[in-house]
Amino acid sequence: MAVFNLTINNTDYKVDVDPQMPLLWVIRDFAGLTGTKFGCGIAQCGACTVHLNGDAVRSCSVPVSSIGQQKIVTIEGLSEKGDHPLQKAWEEVDVPQCGYCQAGQIMSAAAFLKDKPHPTDQEIDNLMSGNICRCGTYNRIKKAIHLAAQGGKS
Ligand code: FES
Ligand code: FES
């Protein structure tokens, strides 16, 4: 066991855990932030996506010992009132079905939109291809990303 000081959504946490513990477990079980989901546990589905210093990472496959001073943002911290342009677009398009994959979808989209604010269909397909949705909401995800990229005007 070892002690780690982490900053999650601008709040400091001190955890005493196995250094190999995946960040996902720290986020869910120690910080109590359960919006980030466990899907595959092997970096294949994207359900556990969070931001590390603004980049999308798969928290199921990032050991807590590798975080250091990097700032962690989860779906709960993406915006103060759930009003990130993507969250508003998601609502307007009514994207989710079961909802399980959706936090990861939004976190992946939020990270890449910073670099590519006006993506094409093809770019969305490529950049979101690592996020699996068993309910097949891909078309609505694409529509919502375009909507957010246009400033929310459909
Ligand atoms: S649970 Fe992390 S990628 Fe699937
Ligand atoms: S909405 Fe059900 S898995 Fe994506």
Q: Name the residue ranges covered by the structural domains of the chain.
A: 2-77, 85-149
CB of residue 58 inside a 6 A radius of ligand 1: yes
Distance CA 143, CA 146 (A): 5
3-class DSSP string for 125-144: HHHHCCCCCCCCCHHHHHHH
When pLDDT is cut at 50, 70 and 90, the band that residue 154 belongs to is low
Please name the residues in contact with 117: beta carbons below 8 A apart, sequence gap of 6 or more.
149
When pLDDT is cut at 50, 70 and 90, the band that residue 38 belongs to is very high
Identify any residues that bridge with 6 across adjacent strands, giving them in sequence order: 13
Q: What distance in angstroms lies between residue 57's CA and the mean position of ligand 1's atoms? A: 10
74-87 mean pLDDT = 96
Q: Which CATH architecture has domain 2-77?
A: Roll (3.10)
Q: What is the pLDDT of residues 113-143, one digit of tens each?
A: 999 999 999 999 999 999 999 999 999 999 9
Distance CA 15, CA 103 (A): 24
Q: What distance in angstroms lies between residue 106's CA and the mean position of ligand 1's atoms? A: 14
Distance CA 63, CA 115 (A): 26
Whether the pLDDT of residue 55 is over 70: the answer is yes
Q: What distance in angstroms lies between residue 41's CA and the mean position of ligand 1's atoms? A: 5
Q: What is the DSSP letter of 151?
A: T
Distance CA 37, CA 44 (A): 13
When pLDDT is cut at 50, 70 and 90, the band that residue 97 belongs to is very high
Residue 97 burial class via C-beta count within 10 angstroms: exposed 0-12, middle 13-18, buried 19 and up: middle
Closest ligand (CA of 49): 1
pTM: 0.97
- What CATH number was assigned to the domain covering residues 85-149? 1.10.150.120
Closest ligand (CA of 140): 2
Confidence at residue 151, expressed as pLDDT on a 0 to 100 scale: 86
Give percent of the chain above pLDDT 70. Answer: 98
Mean pLDDT, all residues of the chain: 96
How many helices, marked H, and strands, marked E, lie in the chain?
A: 5, 5
Confidence at residue 67, expressed as pLDDT on a 0 to 100 scale: 98
Give percent of the chain above pLDDT 90. Answer: 97
Nearest to 8 by CA among 50, 41, 37: 50
Confidence at residue 153, expressed as pLDDT on a 0 to 100 scale: 58
Q: What distance in angstroms lies between residue 47's CA and the mean position of ligand 2's atoms? A: 9
